[in-house]
């Protein structure tokens, strides 16, 4: 509400999910209260109160309830930033990595060389962990974080060759004093970039040990099969094999929860079978884990079918997602995704486009998404066919109402108008309406994954010059976090 007071009312509030509906209703109620307070205060005029006139800066607010698309949080993120989170964990824009992988920090090296450890006592051993900042202070990270991990190696190699070429240029025979002065001026930046390259090369090598393993490949194969709509029972043999090979339990639970969320629950006999295997293989204390997952509605038995075209759990319409319809209508899976030069958000999961992001595209990229869903081949189109910014806020969910009705939760579409049309016009004139691209706020209620952030940044680049995207969320979430909560290793919100 503070943002509305500063910039003006959101002209349109769009949302998907029951919690998104609650938030939208709360915003509307608070706006009504502001109107009442403004009208009762003789010192406040309509023109001087930004909160009662539509914003000329913000185009709309799109609210996505995390409960609408929980399968995406269970998928293995395949962007560089996502895999860092999967492997090491990211907290407050930094990750903690063993010093044997990335080397000791400069201050740690100084302490070691002087024979003093971190506690101030003499010794030869430094700290075992090093905190790596993951933000814009790193020379290379902003360029690397959103790419698919498959293309990270060639990009790091290209960067290394460029740095080597720049460094060797100083040895040219005809180098003048001015050239040397310019090189020295660039030296701090070069050294920072070189240090960044060393860190990210070390991180990539460590992650690659995992991604090239057979276990990772089998796990990813099961996830991709479920996302592509293959018969879930065909993946059970693979899950049973992974249990027999005693891989970490969270990986097993993520696969079972993914199937449950997509298929509307597991068949009762399948669920009991996997419970039996897990309890005997990992310990009977995990009865509590299964109870927690069921309470979170992540791993539940399939109770009944609601119809031939919608074989999901027996909940009433609007309480479960018809993933078969959503997958087909919104092209949630792209067969030939281009990871090197991506042209669709599906690159963040090497073929799977998050349902949450497709819903955002229903509001902000109508023409592109319509052409993509109309494509018989299912291959992604080149970006460029986007609805003009001036038309988006006046259309809402137009064109996608039917498929949104088959996705879990309420659909929100609220238009906010100023109390006084003349005052609204005056405010827009003062703010210079139409002088540049407007902003759309995408708010994830309940958490967002790093892969989804990368997908939204990708959309932002496609819309560059037409609209700016502002990403907001209540927190960062991932399959690793969900499993830790279910296994009672920590509470939600501690990340």
Q: Would you state the pLDDT for residue 456?
A: 97
Q: Report whether 10 contacts 53 (CB < 8 A).
A: no
Residue 175: predicted pLDDT: 62
| Cβ atoms of residues 96 and 129 within 8 Å | yes
Q: What is the pLDDT of residue 103?
A: 85
Rounded CA-CA distance 88/90 in Å is 7
**φ, ψ for residue 284 (rounded to 5)?**
-75, -10
d(CA 21, CA 15): 7
DSSP per position, 324-367: HHHHHHTT-B-TT--SSS--SGGGGGTTBPPHHHHHHHHHH-HH
pLDDT on residue 390: 45
The answer to whether the beta carbons of residues 239 and 255 sit under 8 Å apart is: yes
pLDDT at 269: 95
Q: Give the residue range(s) of CATH 1.25.40.850 domains in the chain.
A: 228-295
On whether the CB atoms of residues 82 and 354 are closer than 8 A, the answer is: no
Identify any residues that bridge with 438 across adjacent strands, giving them in sequence order: 467
CATH 3.40.50.1910 residue window(s) in the chain: 1-69+324-495
The answer to whether 136 and 142 have CB atoms below 8 angstroms apart is yes
Q: 486 in helix, strand or coil?
A: helix
Write b or e for each residue in 291-322: b if 16 or more Cβ atoms lie within 10 A of its Cβ, otherwise e.
ebbbeeebbbebeeebeeebebbeeeeeebbb
Cα–Cα distance measured from residue 283 to residue 30, given in angstroms and rounded to the nearest whole number: 50
pLDDT truncated to tens, each residue of the chain (495 aa)?
678 888 888 999 999 999 999 999 999 998 888 767 666 665 555 444 555 688 888 999 999 999 999 999 999 999 999 999 999 999 999 999 999 998 887 766 555 555 555 444 444 455 588 999 999 999 999 999 999 999 999 999 999 998 888 777 666 645 677 766 776 777 777 888 999 999 999 999 999 999 999 999 999 999 999 999 988 888 999 999 999 999 999 999 999 999 999 999 999 999 999 999 999 999 999 999 999 999 999 999 987 654 434 444 333 345 789 999 999 999 999 988 999 999 999 999 999 999 999 999 999 999 999 998 887 544 555 554 454 544 544 588 999 999 999 999 999 999 988 766 555 565 555 555 555 678 999 999 999 999 999 999 999 999 988 889 999 999 999 998 899 888 876 555 555
Assign a CATH topology to domain 228-295. 1.25.40
Nearest to 126 by CA among 100, 101, 94, 97: 100
Contacts of 293 (CB under 8 A, 6+ apart): 253, 257, 299, 486
Query: Residue 403 and residue 231: Cα distance in Å, rounded?
Result: 22
Show contacts of 368-377: CB within 8 Å, 24+ apart: 368/462, 369/330, 369/400, 370/399, 372/331, 372/344, 373/329, 373/330, 373/331, 375/331
* Superfamily of chain region 1-69+324-495: Sec1/Munc18 (SM) protein, domain 2 (3.40.50.1910)
Alpha-carbon torsion (343, 480, 73, 275), positive or negative: positive
């Amino acid at each position: 509400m503070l943002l509305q007071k500063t910039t003006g009312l959101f002209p349109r509030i769009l949302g998907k999910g029951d919690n998104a509906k609650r938030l939208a209703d709360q915003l509307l109620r608070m706006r009504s209260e502001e109107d009442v307070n403004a009208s009762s205060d003789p010192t406040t005029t309509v023109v001087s109160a930004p909160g009662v006139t539509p914003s000329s800066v913000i185009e709309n607010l799109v609210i996505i309830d995390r409960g609408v698309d929980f399968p995406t949080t269970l998928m293995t993120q395949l962007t560089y930033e996502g895999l860092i989170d999967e492997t090491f964990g990211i907290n407050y824009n930094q990750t903690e990595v063993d010093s044997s992988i990335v080397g000791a920090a400069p201050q740690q090296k100084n302490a070691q060389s002087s024979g003093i450890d971190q506690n101030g006592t003499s010794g030869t051993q430094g700290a075992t962990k090093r905190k790596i900042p993951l933000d814009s202070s790193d020379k290379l990270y902003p360029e690397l974080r959103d790419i698919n991990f498959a293309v990270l190696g060639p990009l790091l190699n290209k960067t290394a060759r460029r740095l080597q070429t720049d460094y060797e240029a100083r040895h040219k025979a005809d180098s003048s004093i001015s050239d040397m002065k310019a090189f020295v001026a660039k030296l701090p930046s070069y050294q920072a970039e070189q240090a960044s390259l060393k860190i990210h090369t070390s991180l990539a090598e460590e992650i690659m040990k995992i991604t090239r393993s057979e276990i990772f490949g089998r796990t990813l194969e099961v996830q991709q099969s479920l996302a592509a709509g293959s018969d879930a029972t065909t993946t059970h043999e693979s899950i049973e094999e992974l249990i027999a090979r005693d891989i970490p339990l969270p990986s097993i639970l993520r696969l079972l929860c993914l199937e449950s969320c997509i298929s509307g629950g597991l068949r009762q006999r399948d669920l009991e079978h996997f419970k039996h295997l897990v309890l005997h293989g990992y310990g009977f204390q995990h009865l509590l884990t299964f109870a927690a997952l069921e309470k979170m509605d992540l791993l539940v038995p399939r109770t009944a079918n609601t119809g031939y075209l919608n074989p999901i759990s027996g909940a009433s319409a609007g309480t479960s997602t018809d993933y078969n319809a959503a997958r087909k209508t919104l092209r949630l899976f792209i067969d030939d995704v281009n990871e090197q030069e991506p042209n669709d958000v599906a690159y963040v999961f090497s073929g799977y486009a998050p349902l949450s992001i497709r819903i955002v595209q229903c509001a902000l990229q109508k023409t592109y998404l319509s052409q993509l869903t109309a494509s018989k081949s299912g291959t992604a189109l080149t970006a460029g066919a986007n609805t003009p910014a001036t038309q988006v806020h006046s259309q809402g969910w137009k064109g996608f109402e039917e498929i949104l009705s088959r996705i879990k939760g309420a659909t929100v579409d609220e238009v906010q108008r100023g109390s006084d049309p003349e005052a609204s016009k005056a405010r827009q004139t003062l703010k210079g309406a139409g002088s540049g691209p407007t902003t759309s706020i995408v708010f994830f209620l309940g958490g967002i994954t790093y892969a989804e952030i990368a997908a939204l940044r990708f959309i932002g680049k496609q819309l560059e010059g037409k609209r700016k995207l502002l990403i907001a969320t209540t927190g960062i979430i991932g399959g690793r976090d969900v499993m830790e909560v279910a296994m009672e290793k920590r509470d939600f919100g501690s990340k």
